[in-house]
Amino acid sequence: MKALAALSLAIAATTLPASAQTRIVKAHGETAPALLCMLDHTGDRCKVDFAGDARRTAQTWLFWSPNRDFALGDLISAEYAHTQSQNAYTTRPLFGRTADVYYVKYKHQDYTFYIVPPGQDGKILYMLIRSGRPEDEKTEPVGLSRIR
């Protein structure tokens, strides 16, 4: 529930009147439910259809344990950072697709979630989760999808 409140504030901040943000808000709205499922650890109750590589990546976050809560600490914030086109650091894991980027801060560690909006079939096929902040993309290893 904490994740929902934190993300709701982030969504409210990005939907303030600004005509230039319309395109980004639309893409953001398609991926926000996926992030909420993972941060709320809803398991089989998640209504988002993760498939392919995204399903494997999401498993760790959907099915949570007390050990993971202890290792990461409390969720501090979850914010939409931006929509990002492919680049040298994300082309391979996201198969060259544009992704919505979220910055998730826990008490003991930060994560960046790259979520490609669902395809026409409504399934999220591509996702990358790595440690660090979005601006650490060039210095942190890419492809980390599990908790340290």
Residue that the structure tokens 């809560």 belong to: 69
Domain ranges (residues) in the chain: 2-136
Give 83's strand partners.
100
Residue range 3-58, pLDDT digits in tens: 544 454 444 444 333 333 322 333 468 899 999 999 998 888 989 999 988 999 99
Tokens of 109: 């560690």
The pLDDT score that the predictor gives to residue 7 is 52
The pLDDT score that the predictor gives to residue 147 is 41
**Burial of 116 per CB tally in 10 Å (0-12, 13-18, 19+):** buried
The pLDDT score that the predictor gives to residue 8 is 47
Residue range 60-104, pLDDT digits in tens: 899 888 888 888 889 999 999 888 887 766 767 777 788 899 999
In one letter, which amino acid is 123? Answer: K
The pLDDT score that the predictor gives to residue 142 is 52
Tokens of 113: 């979630």
Banded pLDDT at 141 (limits 50, 70, 90): low
Q: Give 20 or 105, the one with higher predicted confidence.
A: 105
Q: Give 136 or 123, the one with higher predicted confidence.
A: 123
